[in-house]
Amino acid sequence: MADSNAPKPSSSVKLVLLGEAAVGKSSLVLRFVNNDFQENKEPTIGAAFLTQKCNLPSRTIKFEIWDTAGQERFASLAPMYYRNAQAALVVYDLTKPTSLVKAKHWVAELQRQASPGIVIALVGNKLDLTNDNESGQGDGEGEGAEGEDSGDARKVSTEEAKSYAEEESLLFFETSAKTGYNVTEVFTAIANAIPETSLKSTRGPGASNAVSRGGEEQRVNLNGPREAAKEGCAC
Amino acid sequence: MFNLSSFVQKAQSAAQQLIDPMQGLNLTNSDRNPSKASLFQSQFRLPGSQTPLFEIPAEPYHPSFQRRLHLSESYLCFSTTPTSFAQTASTSTSSAFTGQTHGAGPSGNGFTFPLCAIRRVERLNSQNFQFSLAITTWNGISQEQAKDKEALKDRKDFREQRITVQLAGSRQTCERFCDGLKKGLRGAVGSVGKLKRVVSECYSEYLLRPEEKKSAASPDAGLGVVFKYPGDPKKLRDRAKMRLWAEYLRDNGRNATLIRQPTFHKLIRVGLPNRLRGEMWELTSGSLYLRLENPTLYTDTLDKFSGRESLAIDEIEKDLNRSLPEYPGFQSEDGINRLRRVLTAYSWINPDVGYCQAMNIVVAALLIYMSETQAFFLLSALCDRLVPGYYSSTMYGTLLDQKVFESLVEKTMPILWEHLVKSDVQLSVVSLPWFLSLYINSMPLVFAFRVLDVFFVEGPKVLFQVGLAILRINGEELLDAADDGAFISVLKSYFSRLDESAHPKSENPKLRAINRFQELMVVAFKEFSAITHSTIQDLRLKNKDAVLNNIENFAKRTAIRNLGPDSKLLSPEELGALYDRFFGVLYERQQRDHIIQEEQIRRAKASKTRASEAFPEHHDHGVEKGRVGLGPSTSLMDYDAFREFLASVSKWAISDAPPASPRRDPSDRNPYFGSFRRSDPNPLSPWGTGPEPANHEFMQRLFRKWDVTNSSSLTLQNVVTGLAQIKGGRDIMGTITYFFELYDDDGDGKVDREGILRVSEALLFLSRRGLEGVLSNSNSTTVLNGMTEADSTSLSPPIGGTVNERFLGSVSAFIRRCFEYADPDHPDNQDELAQARSHNTSFIPEEDKVVEDGAFTIGDDGDDDEEEGDLLAFEGSSAEKLDLTPRPPALGKPTAQDTTQRAVSKAQSEKANVALDPSNPLHITLPTFRMVVLADELLEQFFESSFPTSLHIIDGLPNVASQSSSLTTFSSLNFNRPAVAPPPGTQPGLAGAGRGLRGVLDNIVTDASRVAAEVRRRMEEAQRELEKNALPGQRDEDEEDEEDLQGPIKPSGAYSGDAERRSVRSSDRDLLDGADADAGSSKEIDNANQSRLETNIGQEGRIGPANNNATQRIVEFES
């Protein structure tokens, strides 16, 4: 059977980041991959490619992350990057309402054009600019009435984005790439949400030209479509 | 998606419509045969203003040269590349430079002198009757001020640049060339000051200055002067390179007067020295010549737009801190400010491009080596010529070049390509950033700049050659990489080791010293030397359509999805078709504007210049400008475009003026007009091949209603929302309300007398080419007019035979009922009259405009209103009474009885209906309007089905040419005689239609009472029977009344006169048409005159058939 070769199967998942310019897509990835933050990150030209592993109890997910350029005119390049993606992170800046509009456009585009069954997470970034504390709940649970707080840079209320996410059956998170709040949670949740049927076996790791796979074994779905347990990523 | 071909063809015939193959990727058919001018500009990197005027074979006494001398308006170019741009030269001769250049670049060895850089030209005495010219240049002009005082001292360091050229042509050719040169030189004298200014910013001037005079500040050689240039100068052997260049420049001239020798290209290949890099980039890319054309453009632009804001500026701000952030210069305010200014200034002069991420990186790189001004012009040369379309709003150039790159990989490295396909790796995810940022953020900076050094000389093919070489060198490892990730990391690690030895294990120290970058350059330019500019150009042409279609599909998909909730009322197919139509109309209009402009320029030029000097104009923007895939031009629809849009979906929106329809089948052409009609459709028609749209008040109202932002233009969103309200609901109440609101100008829920008449006009306008949609076949509606089946069958011709005729009756009934059920504004207050008048004139503020340029006019001054009221009173009640028995239209001779009868009824009506008293302003409300509409089955059907259906969004109008002939108007009604009905598209039909419309709608609008009168006249014959007995007593009196009323409005327009006109129309129609048109707008007059003219001319040769034709028609009407 397919699972015979390793106790913890490893699969790679292609993930694409989409969203308006300067909402922090690259920063989220940088936080996730290197646990780092840079104030002045060079804008992404076309797309940047990074990988990171995420350990789940029953398997390891290797994310192949395509971090795309956010400027509007790069939008027509996006199909090149979300092609065959199994997961997408649609990011908006919760201090900028227009970025949520753009995010909705991306969601619509993905739902119609990307691979069927793509797991989409809606992420409101730059939580550090709001008055919300990191002590707040994670994993997309509502964060009370912070939307009404004054003197706060937040312009998109959690409720608004959350109800939209529910409508469209998206995962939903508010994060801060700067503080790292909720970042790994996003990726873990995505890893958990990927139906096992869509997982391929992992491919040769990067530069060291060691492993070259001729065929791609399609994993047989033995377990349920979803993993019940949730666990942090190994990063 | 768009009907391109016809425009392209036209473009080629109208004016040799050509695009520089290197400047702009607007690849059209004409690119396959590019203009001599654009090739010329490409070869010598000249600004778009330059065209090849003269050329002559020449043999300079300068070593190693032997080819051709070219003269343009302000440049004298010499090149060893065997090109010719003479009109007789073949395209392959003109584009020879796009092939193998052996490292010399398109401009080859030779020189490109601005004429203002030539100080003096002398003709030498020579043997064999040959012409020899000695050209002395302004080389080193910045030192000229020292001439007087230290002339002698300077002479030692400064050699005057003098070149001798022997012209090898016939005596006459030589004379002509010299004349041209003389003229050019005279014209260039004024630009010497500019030249001085421009070259003073070149570092070479400082470099070649004698040591003791170097006290003055050196020209700005970029941020590198302050923050150090990237790389280790020792390792780069910068000093040695500088010495070599100093020597070269001393011997061969500098900047504007530089002569390109083979050494020049070798020096570039080994890498430019830091301080000269900016200047050489500027020179080899040709941006120096752009700067010379307008040296102050940069500062002027900054001044002009100082303090202004734009989307591009917002985007630029976001990226300023993230452009080469690792270079110290961009951690400083100075560097950031320079970057901001250059990007901002460029976004202003090229708003189509604005700002694209990656430009920040490229400009940041340029600013390390050159001044802001230089970087500004170089960016311009990049965007327009070197990497066209890369940074445009759709980035079509980038996407296209990715496709080109992929096909090159497939061709040159089939095994690797196969591997990529098999492992489902998309090459462009790797290579796109290479091209977009010109390798600047892929390779270490020192190496990226080496690539740029060659790129500016040899053009975009360098990017491809380097890209292919990268893949070739890493081929083995790439074949082992099975996915995107592995692929990327192979290349990443390669780029990070470019400075390592390419052959670390070699025993040959020389070989060991070669680093990987050098190896890359060798592979790129040796192994891939077969990749020339022509190769790239051919592949671009081949892939262009697929790429643009992809972009357009994406744009369409995105746009449609983002149209908001209203769009859900329309089907996806309708939205798709609407999108295509919307942008189709805008696109075609731009094409036409462009072609018309071209033609005007061409004509203007042709009339001014001698034929030999009339060279095709150069254009920076291709004929395809406006195509969605090429980026923004406009996405706003103005009123004229809106008319054209409507005319493409609704037959009622097509003008009744006889169109110069290009689709007419010649066999259909009526001999009556055939000799006059322009046999070839005028390509310059403002409406192109489509029909001329109407310009009815209804369309203006619709436009204003849809234009929710009052911006006098519609977005796609506006049009979708507007149409969704009409077509989307399919709800009769909604449509009725919509219609009512169109005429409720002040939004107070009331439509006044004027508005009622306008509504009925609109109904007639919309129905004049027949009704569409689901209409009942029964004649039950006619019962509303008091007509029975028996009546209609007993009378000949049968009334109610067509729905369209019945609809006229319905409109008549509509007016009558409206006035019947109207509410008086102020029943007790007669003084309100004056107020009402002013209200009437002011409630449509654009009325005056309508009168001036509309096809239809509406008398709206106070006096008319008063009389109108009287007439309405007459109409309203008479319609009520007389219409009880409808009659067939009286298109033949009306009898005296009819006239009398009308007078009778008018008198009766005045007494009958107080509500129609002109001194009583009145209005109807929405409920009344609804009731009146619903009272008539046909009207109901019109609102329920016919009007929404009349907008054919998806399929459009099947045969536009024939539409205009099928007007349902009073004069063209022919009572269902298919045998004699004018066949669609024939001239009598058109003429009849045109006349018919004027006959009806003009009258309606100049004299509102005729709406009903015309309807009624149609029925008079049937009516006559019933009312025969009521006549004698009141005849005289009423006739007088009528004259009193009618006289002032339209002296010749009394009913009797009108009736008479109809009877004699066949012979005198021309004159009467003129009179008729008098009441209309000036445009209407033009139309009338035109058709009259046509008629006259047509008759000259063909009186016989014409008369026959006319006679026949009378007979038809009377039968």
Q: To 10 degrees, the CA torsion angle through A135, A141, A145, A149?
A: 50
Sign of CA dihedral B1055, B1060, B1066, B1071: negative
When pLDDT is cut at 50, 70 and 90, the band that residue B459 belongs to is very high
Give me the mean pLDDT over the B1051-1073 stretch. 43
Do the chains contact at B399 and A105, CB–CB below 8 Å? no
Distance CA(B566)–CA(B727), nearest Å, equals 11
Q: Nearest-CA residue of chain B relative to A108?
A: B561
pLDDT of residue A195: 84
Question: Would an 8 Å CB–CB cutoff place B13 in contact with chain A?
Answer: no
Note whether A76 contacts B399, CB cutoff 8 Å: yes
The amino acid at B346: Y
Confidence of residue B811 (pLDDT cuts 50, 70, 90): confident
Kindly report, residue by residue over B531-570, the tens digit of the pLDDT.
Answer: 999 999 999 999 999 999 888 888 888 888 878 777 878 8
User: B761 vs B699, B765, B997, CA distance in Å?
Assistant: 12, 6, 12
Q: Which residue of A has its CA nearest to B630?
A: A73
Residue B619 has phi, psi (to 5 degrees) of -130, 135
pLDDT at B1012: 52
Pairing of β B922-925 and β B118-124: unpaired
pLDDT value at position B267? 93
Spatial distance between the Cα atoms of A205 and A150, rounded to a whole number of angstroms: 49
The pLDDT value recorded for residue B542 is 94
Distance from CA of B641 to the nearest CA of A (A): 26
- Where is average pLDDT lowest: B454-458, B817-821, B1086-1090? B1086-1090
Taking CB atoms and an 8 Å limit, are B486 and A203 in contact across chains? yes
Tokens (6 digits) for B776: 């009942």
Count the neighbouring beta carbons within 10 Å of the beta carbon of residue B862: 14
Stronger pLDDT, B96 or B729, i.e. the higher one: B96
Among positive and negative, which fits the CA dihedral B333, B335, B336, B341?
positive
Q: Which of B120, B192, B125 is nearest to B162 (CA)?
A: B120
Model pLDDT for residues A80-113, shown as the tens digit of each residue: 889 889 999 999 999 999 999 999 999 999 998 8
Sign of the alpha-carbon torsion through B1021, B1022, B1023, B1029:
positive
* pLDDT tens by residue, B974-988: 333 333 333 443 333
**Residue pair B236/B415 in contact by the 8 Å Cβ criterion:** no
pLDDT tier for residue B662 given thresholds of 50, 70 and 90: very low
Largest Cα separation within chain A, whole Å, is 59
Q: Which residue of A has its CA nearest to B629?
A: A76
For the segment B1038-1067, the average pLDDT, to the nearest whole number, is 42
Average pLDDT estimate for B291-310: 94
User: Which pLDDT score is estimated for B606?
Assistant: 67
DSSP-derived pairing of the beta strands A171-174 and A119-125: parallel
Residues of A in contact with B357 (CB under 8 A): 21, 43-45, 69, 71, 74
Residue B1049 parent element (H or E): helix B1035-1049
CA distance A38 to chain B (A): 10
Distance in Å, alpha carbon of B416 to nearest chain A alpha carbon: 15
Give pLDDT, residue B108. 84
Distance from CA of B493 to the nearest CA of A (A): 8
User: In this structure, are strands A87-93 and A119-125 parallel, antiparallel, or unpaired?
Assistant: parallel
Q: Inform me whether the pLDDT recorded for B1091 exceeds 80.
A: no
Q: Tell me the CB-side half-sphere exposure of residue B192, using CA atoms within 13 A.
A: 17
Helix, strand, coil shares, percent, chain B, to 5: 60, 5, 35
Give me the pLDDT at residue B506, please: 87
* Interface test mutation site (partner A, options B558, B630, B717, max chain A beta carbons within 10 A): B558
Which residues, in sequence order, are bridge partners of residue A119?
Answer: A87
Burial bucket for residue B88 (CB in 10 Å: 0-12, 13-18, 19+):
exposed
- The Cα-based distances of B495 to B322, B437, B490 in angstroms read 21, 15, 9
Quote the distance between the C-alpha of residue B234 and its chain's center.
54
Residue B953 pLDDT? 79
Does A105 contact B493 at a Cβ distance shorter than 8 Å?
no
pLDDT number for residue B726: 80
Contact B356 A71 (CB under 8 A): yes
Give the model's confidence band at B641: pLDDT under 50 very low, under 70 low, under 90 confident, else very high: confident
The continuous run of DSSP H or E covering B266 comes out as helix B262-269
Place of tokens 């065209």: B51
What's phi and psi for B220, nearest 5 deg?
-65, 110
Indicate whether B783 pLDDT > 80. no
Burial letters B742-768, b for 16+ CB under 10 A, else e: bbbbeeeebbbbbbbbbbbbbbbbbbb
Which of A14, A209, A213 would best serve as a mutation to test chain B binding (most B beta carbons within 10 A)? Answer: A209
User: What does the mean pLDDT of chain B come to?
Assistant: 72
Using DSSP's 3-state secondary structure scheme, residue B619 falls into strand
Cβ–Cβ below 8 Å for A212 and B551: no
For residue B40, the model assigns a pLDDT of 87
Average pLDDT over residues B14-27: 35
* Closest among B1080, B71, B19 to B594, alpha carbons compared: B19
Residue B134 contacts A where some CB pair is shorter than 8 Å: no
Q: Could you give the percent of chain B with pLDDT greater than 70?
A: 62
Q: Which residue of A has its CA nearest to B487?
A: A206
